[in-house]
Amino acid sequence: MRTNCTHLADTSHSNKVTRAISILFALLAISLSWSFHPSGLVWGQSTESVQWESVIRLHYDKTEHMIPMRDGISLYTAVFTPKDKTKTYPILMKRTPYSCAPYGKDAYPSTLGPSDLFIRAGYIFVQQDVRGRFLSEGVFEQVTPHRTDKASPKDVDESTDTYDTIDWLLSHLEGHNGRVGMYGISYPGFYCSAGMIDAHPALRAVSPQAPVGDWYFDDFLHNGAFFLAHAYRWLMNNAQERSGPTTVKPVGAALPSLDGYQLFLEAGTIQEINRRYLKGQVPFWNQMMEHPNRDAFWQKRAILPHLKNVAPAVMLVTGWYDAEDLYGSFKTYQAVEDMNPNVNNVLVVGPWIHGGWASTDGDKLGEVSFGSKTASFYRSEIELPFFERNLKDAAVSALPEATLFETGSNRWRTFDAWPPKSSVEQSWYLEDKQTLTTAPPQQKDARTGDAYVSDPAKPVPFTEKITPRMTVEYMVEDQRFAARRPDVLSYQTPVLEKDLVVAGPLEVELWVTTTGTDGDFVVKLIDVLPDGTVATNLPNYQMMVRSEVMRGRFRNSFEHPEPFVPNEPALVRFELQDVLHRFQKGHRMMVQVQSTWFPLVDRNPQKFVPNIYLADDSDFQKATFTVLRSSKHPSHIKMRVMPE
């Protein structure tokens, strides 16, 4: 039930009066439950069932502003200031392309800040529509390129827009303490990264959470392979053009079937999917199709090389099962670490999906349990203290360099570096009889290997579920449905006699041949649970720990693709993102290799064409791939493991 009386729907006058009186008493109870504390507002025990919109309305004043930027464009900004004027507060800002709704000085949101804990603690909250979105003026550009040279006021980017916004807020708002923080998840995380470059002196703490780092490796493209199911859903709902400032969100067209596998397969080519379902009306989709290689279009959208002179405190947050921006998260942390040696840059990783640390309890994903409410712990014990310490000088301890949840054992661990300094490199080789071993292969015949036929007409599904979208659970899903297919190779260790803890990025080196001239390579690292497991009730479950795809044409260069020479050995090298996972005694470690992963990834025709997105039906062909495992061509996965 909403507590705003204008939304009451009772037709009886007496019912309306009774309801209004109840609401007044509820608001009075809220008021009485708040008390003042040196660190901010303290939450009482009697308000857990009351909607936060009412709480925010009672304790915060809302104002709306059009803040001018240096080039004359103004950006819509909503400001929420505590009614208590007996102290000063830091400013906590989020810049977003996803709308600052609800609009209007009397319209209040149901939440503010990273979590409800911040409403209780007391901050000045600022929300801003970025340039060209919703009520802000200007022209929107996807993942705004950063300008290194700013010779005139017309040379603007997200760094200058953030700087100008902070400057205006400090001059025009009352009751602030002179300090500003930023936070944001996903696209708003990108605006955090961009906004902290050449940071305003008042910007003291920033938390990019699952930020886009380089769109050729994040979200829609993974090593040049197109994440079809995800790109379709997101672009249809978020990339349509507007005719001018508006409060109306675009409404994307729904796919005509819940079976995305069958739907996209029947459409056939990328061109036909665009014609049938997108109707050619999503400009960025069309731009992507014109730039299959990592040319200047993509290179200028990489924020990672520009992360210099950032805010003095940075907290990078991501989840092990972030299906969208895992690359951007780890690479952003690394870039800030490398280019800002004096910055307090920390990393936090939990067992979460994209944004799950803010929206879930974080206690499970699909069939896999993590043993505790990890996201709740993060919000109260990590996120809030980070901002309280850096924006209010609260007497809380500084965060460790890296705070990560170890999957497999379900426990939090801290490190003074990531990857851990004590970890050592170890290689696991694909061997005869589908085994995985640390001993390099001894076979002298260079062509020794395992072959499979990849048929684009019958691609390996990425999930056993019938769905039109990228399901978040696929990242821990049982892989037995794939292991039983003839076009998937599986290699596993004997039963482990002791725990094996993998900590850090994974690197794959596959020596392959193909009868075609192009192809994709999907590699999965899997934890095979033992038969009769009681703790999880998942006997023989093949839990995916990490997976990634490499488009073979880019094996030597993402800028300059090249075909395979049929039947000639070629090295395909790529990185799987970081893990911290304990393969427990009694489990097995497995690696799977395949060449289709549909419709998560679009189908490779397996015939080299200049622009893969323009491939015709006639270009798609079967191909036989062989993964080599000889002394000359030792296919393996390289990882870092913790000493006993």
Mean pLDDT of 245-269: 90
Mean pLDDT of 229-234: 94
pLDDT digits (tens, 9 = 90+) for 519-557: 999 999 999 999 865 445 788 999 999 999 999 999 999
Residue 25: the pLDDT is 39
Residue 438: the pLDDT is 98
Residue 7: the pLDDT is 32
- Scan for tokens 């079976």, then name that residue: 259
pLDDT digits (tens, 9 = 90+) for 593-617: 999 999 999 999 999 999 999 999 9
Task: Name the strand (E) or helix (H) holding 234.
Answer: helix 228-238
Residue 24: the pLDDT is 43
- Scan for tokens 């599986």, then name that residue: 490
> How far is the C-alpha of 161 from the C-alpha of 68, rounded, in Å?
9
User: Using 50, 70 and 90 to split pLDDT, how confident is the model at 45?
Assistant: very low
Residue 44: the pLDDT is 37
Residue 49: the pLDDT is 34
User: Using 50, 70 and 90 to split pLDDT, how confident is the model at 644?
Assistant: confident
Residue 27: the pLDDT is 42
Q: Which of 43-47, 175-179, 199-203, 565-569 has the lowest mean pLDDT?
A: 43-47
Residue 14's CB is within 10 A of a number of other CB atoms, namely 8
- List, in sequence order, every residue forming a beta bridge with 314; answer none if it has no partner: 206, 345
User: Using 50, 70 and 90 to split pLDDT, how confident is the model at 292?
Assistant: very high
Residue 66: the pLDDT is 98
User: Using 50, 70 and 90 to split pLDDT, how confident is the model at 167?
Assistant: very high
Residue of higher predicted confidence among 418 and 240: 418
Q: What's the CA angle centered on 425, arms 502 and 575, to 5 degrees?
A: 70
Which residue, among 396, 516, 402, has the nearest Cα to 453 in the 3D structure? Answer: 516
Mean pLDDT of 406-412: 98
User: Using 50, 70 and 90 to split pLDDT, how confident is the model at 250?
Assistant: confident
Write out the E strands in 69-120: 74-82, 89-96
Which amino acid, one-letter code, is at 347? L
Q: How much of the chain exceeds pLDDT 90, in percent?
A: 86
Residue 370 has pLDDT above 80, yes or no: yes
pLDDT digits (tens, 9 = 90+) for 109-146: 999 999 999 999 999 999 999 999 999 999 999 999 99
Residue 5: the pLDDT is 32
Residues ≥6 apart with Cβ < 8 Å to 585: 496, 497, 498, 499
pLDDT digits (tens, 9 = 90+) for 46-100: 344 347 999 999 999 999 999 999 999 999 999 999 999 999 999 999 999 999 9
Q: How much of the chain exceeds pLDDT 70, in percent?
A: 91
> How far is the C-alpha of 373 from the C-alpha of 350, rounded, in Å?
11
Mean pLDDT of 236-263: 87
User: Using 50, 70 and 90 to split pLDDT, how confident is the model at 1?
Assistant: very low
Which amino acid, one-letter code, is at 286? N
Residue 496: the pLDDT is 97
Q: What is the set of domains in the chain, with CATH numbers?
A: 34-214+302-415 (3.40.50.1820), 424-641 (2.60.120.260)
> How far is the C-alpha of 272 from the C-alpha of 599, rounded, in Å?
15
Mean pLDDT of 161-173: 98
- How do the residues of the chain divide into helix, strand and coil, expressed in percent and rounded to 5? 25, 30, 45
Please tell me what DSSP assigns to residue 137: -
Which amino acid, one-letter code, is at 291? H
pLDDT digits (tens, 9 = 90+) for 4-42: 333 323 333 444 443 444 434 344 444 434 433 333 333
> How far is the C-alpha of 90 from the C-alpha of 125, rounded, in Å?
9
> How far is the C-alpha of 195 from the C-alpha of 310, rounded, in Å?
9
What are the distances in angstroms from CA 218 to CA 186, 283, 327, 473, 557? Answer: 10, 19, 6, 18, 17
- Predicted model pTM: 0.92
Mean pLDDT of 191-218: 97
Residue 630 has pLDDT above 50, yes or no: yes
User: Using 50, 70 and 90 to split pLDDT, how confident is the model at 3?
Assistant: very low
Residue 48: the pLDDT is 41
Residue 255: the pLDDT is 85
Give φ, ψ of 179 to 5 degrees: -115, 145
Residue 205: the pLDDT is 98
Q: What is the CA radius of gyration of the chain?
A: 26
> How far is the C-alpha of 192 from the C-alpha of 92, rounded, in Å?
12
Residue of higher predicted confidence among 49 and 340: 340
Residue 532: the pLDDT is 62
Bridging pattern class, strands 364-365 and 344-353: unpaired
- DSSP for 238-274 reads H----SSS-SPPP-PPPPS-S-HHHHHHHH-SHHHHI
Question: How many Cα atoms sit within 13 Å of 603 on the Cβ side?
Answer: 29
> How far is the C-alpha of 497 from the C-alpha of 424, rounded, in Å?
19
Taking all residues of the chain, what is their mean pLDDT, rounded to a whole number?
91
